[in-house]
Amino acid sequence: MILLESAADLRVHLDSARRGGASIGFVPTMGAFHEGHRSLMRAARAAHDLVVVSLFVNPLQFGPGEDLDRYPRDPTGDLEVVREEGVDVLFTPGVAEMYPGHPEPPLTTVHVASLSEGLCGTGRPGHFDGVATVVAKLFALVGPCTAYFGRKDAQQLAVVRRLVADLGLPVEVVGCPLVRESDGLALSSRNRNLIPEQRRAATVLYRALRAGADLVMGGERDAGRLRRVVANVATNEELARLEYAEVVGTGDLSPMETLSGEVLVAVAARVGGVRLIDNMTVTVKADGTASVDLGVMTEGEVVCAAR
Ligand code: PAF
């Protein structure tokens, strides 16, 4: 495993690997690795000659007053994880390397219209511009590759897919299953900032989605009723403050009235000072049958894929 901090070194290393015929699997991250990150690294490892992981806590995607300073950091633990997962290159650029004009913001940014605006974009204006900008830059530095993202960040995945399509970037984007603890809590680096009481309360998002999944499997196809049930359960927890519960199409993220095709049920809440998101995908086929995908447990068990 080699550790690189300079964009120029990364480019030289990867260009030479590509000339030798190597395919590159790329996992962009902000560190504080958990089993979800490991699953992305394993997917990349299984399919590519060279696995590159970037670790950069991107200031551009944090708004004023957000948790940039409190975002979990674990350089020693992260190094151990990338070694265990057989990663070839860990790219850990500093802020000045990624944004040469720093502390001035970059003059060039990437905005993926419409997809960036609802859901998390409402409470975090500018967040997805920060994500799209850093991801575009990382793709430019890494070059042609297959990039792996978790489906927990469903809106981010939609934004990145559209960015790649609109700019014609030579990157294949792969969305990997959301990973949950055994009590259903979706894995997130931010879970490290939950105190035990909040950690228990945080499962409310999963409980809310399960209630929604039960409703769908019971035959409910009205998106408004589904949204209300999910929101009701999610507000039924003293330590959690619901930010949103939405039912939207997975491609354009626009609100739905009746469930059909691929539907994203997405929730976000604050537990203490920690902002958490979660989601499930409902698929309703033309014959009216439905399946619900809530991801996988850390043990690899698939959650609720009933038809
Ligand atoms: O999902 C993340 O960890 C970040 O948003 C990403 C994609 C690495 C961009 O900073």
Say if residue 184's pLDDT is above 90: yes
Strands 290-293 and 274-284, sheet pairing: antiparallel
CA–centroid distance, residue 228 to ligand 1 (Å) = 30
Say if residue 14's pLDDT is above 80: yes
Dist. CA 10–CA 55, nearest whole Å: 13
| Complete edge-to-edge strand list for the sheet that includes strand 261-271 | 240-249, 261-271, 274-284, 290-293
Whether residue 29 has its Cβ less than 6 Å from ligand 1: yes
Whether residue 58 has its Cβ less than 6 Å from ligand 1: yes
Share of the chain above pLDDT 90, in %: 96
Q: Report CA Rg, the chain.
A: 19
Read off the tokens for 303. 């959650």
Share of the chain above pLDDT 70, in %: 99
CB 33 within 8 A of CB 78: yes
In the block, which residue shows the tokens 């997917």? 43
Position 116, amino acid: S
CA–centroid distance, residue 6 to ligand 1 (Å) = 19
Q: pLDDT digits over 123-139, tens only? A: 999 999 999 999 999 99
In the block, which residue shows the tokens 């430019």? 140
CA–centroid distance, residue 257 to ligand 1 (Å) = 31
Whether residue 217 has its Cβ less than 6 Å from ligand 1: no
SS3 259: coil
Whether residue 36 has its Cβ less than 6 Å from ligand 1: no
- Name the β-bridge partners of 149: 175
Q: Reduced to 3 DSSP states, what percent helix, strand and coil does the chain have, rounded to the nearest 5?
A: 35, 25, 40
Whether residue 130 has its Cβ less than 6 Å from ligand 1: no
CB 241 within 8 A of CB 252: no
Which atom of ligand 1 sits closest to the CA of residue 30? 3
Q: Residue with the nearest Cα to atom 9 of ligand 1?
A: 131
Per the prediction, the chain carries an average pLDDT of 97
Read off the tokens for 75. 């350089």
What residues have CB less than 8 Å from 233, skipping those under 6 apart? Answer: 204, 207, 208, 211, 212
What's the rounded mean pLDDT across residues 10-16? 97
Say if residue 107's pLDDT is above 70: yes
Mutational pocket test of ligand 1: of 26, 134, 157, the residue with most ligand atoms within 8 Å of the beta carbon? 134
Whether residue 57 has its Cβ less than 6 Å from ligand 1: no
- What is the set of active-site residues? 37
What residues have CB less than 8 Å from 231, skipping those under 6 apart? Answer: 208, 242, 245
What's the rounded mean pLDDT across residues 21-45? 98
- Nearest CA to 254 out of 92, 119, 147 is that of 119
Whether residue 209 has its Cβ less than 6 Å from ligand 1: no
What's the rounded mean pLDDT across residues 54-60? 98
What's the rounded mean pLDDT across residues 165-187? 98
Looking at residue 307, its pLDDT comes to 46
Which atom of ligand 1 sits closest to the CA of residue 189? 3
Which atom of ligand 1 sits closest to the CA of residue 150? 1
Looking at residue 304, its pLDDT comes to 61
Looking at residue 303, its pLDDT comes to 81
**Confidence bin at 306 (pLDDT 50/70/90):** low
Which atom of ligand 1 sits closest to the CA of residue 56? 10
CA–centroid distance, residue 54 to ligand 1 (Å) = 9
Whether residue 68 has its Cβ less than 6 Å from ligand 1: no
Helix (H) or strand (E) holding 240: strand 240-249
Q: pLDDT digits over 211-243, tens only? A: 999 999 999 999 999 999 999 999 999 999 999
Looking at residue 302, its pLDDT comes to 83
Q: Residue with the nearest Cα to atom 5 of ligand 1?
A: 131
What's the rounded mean pLDDT across residues 237-265? 97
